[in-house]
Amino acid sequence: MVKIGKLELGEFPLLLAPMEDVSDPPFRAVCKQNGADLMYTEFISSEGLIRDAAKSVQKLDIFDYEKPIGIQIFGNEIESMREAAAIAAEAGPDILDINYGCPVNKVACKGAGAGILLDIDKMVSMTAEIVKAVNIPVTVKTRLGWDNDTIRIVEVAERLQDVGIQAISIHARTRKQMYKGEADWSYLNLVKENPRLHIPVFGNGDIDSPEKALEYKNKYNVDGMMIGRAAIGYPWIFDEIKHFLATGKKLESPSIEERIAVTKKHLDFSVEWKGEKQGILEMRRHYTNYFRGMPNFKPIRTEMVTADSYEHVCHLLDQVADQYADYVF
């Protein structure tokens, strides 16, 4: 049984990665319904939280049906991160996660996210202060290093454990790689082989099929996996991986009826959470992914991403169901 603190997550938990502009409550809802064991919010700016910025505060929205869930924060100032951690904990998450992995320039080049991998001592000090500031388990998501010359992930995991984190998720790329090239999970195996390390280690990067999940589980000895991009438009991946790990057999790909049903659920959650106008606007980024690979879909997709009413979108989804009723994925 994998545990984060007292939180039991099963024998081999699958986590939904925190993704900016993706991992909002509507998206998390459909991932939860399709097998995600633990989810995280989009990463939240510490400066935004302590200044009560509306966008940052809204990201604290979590719901009972999502539990267990973690709130993730990022920043480059220790005092701001400590204050933000306390604010986030008041929202009632099961876990507080620290983002030490975001590679984008506007974050990393300011010393936050993966930028802190250039100052491991500060990373450890910041983590220690955050652990002291809250009464819930603290976890970390990070990368292997800034570049190939600064990979110290075995040391980093141990030092973060020693100041109190209770699990670590490692994206098996450096910051310099961004999301390019192949993730190198061999470093995760080295982390797991450290006899002093006893916290769960979750692997992240390139898990996009049940077959790869089984291969990496057996090869790299991780305690669970965090899935990000592969779940966008395909929340079924969690249940598919679980089924394959348990039986060695693949589930059938979701039918057009299933895809329409989940897209409607996602839309309903989005409209309920953000209101019709904003909810429809924020759903537009998902339609291409839900119906990826379908032939001659561009005209309908174009209409979907310009539709401005709930009824219009539902009408288009019904049209997809009729037009592609016999389509097999």
Same domain, 199 and 272: no
Query: Considering the domain boundaries, does residue 74 fall inside one?
Result: yes
CB–CB of 226/17 below 8 Å?
A: yes
Among the candidates 204, 219, 247, a domain finishes at 247
Please give the full DSSP string across 82-115, using - where no structure is assigned: HHHHHHHHTT--SEEEEEE----HHHHTTTSGGG
**Is 141 labelled a binding residue?**
yes
Same domain, 242 and 260: no
Domain of 218? 2-247
Same domain, 163 and 283: no
Same domain, 9 and 26: yes
Query: Considering the domain boundaries, does residue 141 fall inside one?
Result: yes
Same domain, 13 and 120: yes
What residues are labeled active site? 102
Query: Considering the domain boundaries, does residue 221 fall inside one?
Result: yes
What is the pLDDT tens value at each position of the chain, 329 positions in all? Answer: 999 999 999 999 999 999 998 999 999 999 999 999 999 999 999 999 999 888 899 999 999 999 999 999 999 999 999 999 999 999 999 999 999 999 999 999 899 999 999 999 999 999 999 999 999 999 999 999 999 999 999 999 999 999 999 999 999 999 999 999 999 999 999 999 999 999 999 999 999 999 999 999 999 999 999 999 999 999 999 999 999 999 999 999 999 999 999 999 999 999 999 999 999 999 998 988 999 989 999 999 999 999 999 999 999 999 999 999 888 88
The pLDDT value recorded for residue 83 is 96
**Residue 159, SS3 per DSSP:** helix
Same domain, 201 and 281: no
- Tell me how crowded residue 41 is: count the other CB atoms within 10 A of its CB: 25
> Residue 213 burial (CB < 10 Å; 0-12/13-18/19+)?
buried
In angstroms, the CA 71 to CA 89 distance is 8
Same domain, 240 and 264: no
The pLDDT value recorded for residue 14 is 98
In angstroms, the CA 279 to CA 221 distance is 40
Query: Considering the domain boundaries, does residue 299 fall inside one?
Result: yes
In angstroms, the CA 78 to CA 23 distance is 25
Among the candidates 218, 247, 276, a domain finishes at 247
Q: Which of 202, 223, 198 is nearest to 97 (CA)?
A: 202
Structural domains of the chain, count: 2
Among the candidates 184, 218, 247, a domain finishes at 247
CB–CB of 175/147 below 8 Å?
A: yes
Same domain, 92 and 230: yes
Q: Which of 228, 110, 227, 105 is nearest to 175 (CA)?
A: 105
Query: Considering the domain boundaries, does residue 109 fall inside one?
Result: yes
In angstroms, the CA 154 to CA 202 distance is 14
In angstroms, the CA 61 to CA 126 distance is 25
**Is 72 labelled a binding residue?**
yes
244-268 burial, b if ≥16 CB within 10 A, otherwise e?
Answer: bbeeeeeeeebebeebbebbeebbb
The pLDDT value recorded for residue 288 is 87
CB–CB of 197/191 below 8 Å?
A: yes
In angstroms, the CA 192 to CA 308 distance is 50
Query: CB under 8 Å to 144, separation ≥6 — which residues?
Result: 151, 153, 170, 171, 172, 173, 174, 184, 187
CATH of the domain at 81: 3.20.20.70
Same domain, 149 and 290: no
Query: Considering the domain boundaries, does residue 171 fall inside one?
Result: yes
Structure tokens that stand for 136 in this block: 């819930």
**Residue 51, SS3 per DSSP:** coil
Structure tokens that stand for 228 in this block: 């990000």
Query: Considering the domain boundaries, does residue 329 fall inside one?
Result: no
CB–CB of 69/38 below 8 Å?
A: yes
Same domain, 22 and 155: yes
CB–CB of 74/113 below 8 Å?
A: yes
CATH of the domain at 291: 1.10.1200
Query: CB under 8 Å to 129, separation ≥6 — which residues?
Result: 78, 79, 81, 82
**Is 323 labelled a binding residue?**
no
In angstroms, the CA 278 to CA 308 distance is 9
Q: Where are the beta strands (DSSP E) in the chain?
A: 3-4, 7-8, 14-16, 38-40, 44-45, 69-74, 95-100, 138-143, 168-171, 201-204, 224-227
Same domain, 199 and 290: no
The vertex-63 CA angle with 57 and 69, nearest 5°, equals 85
Same domain, 235 and 268: no
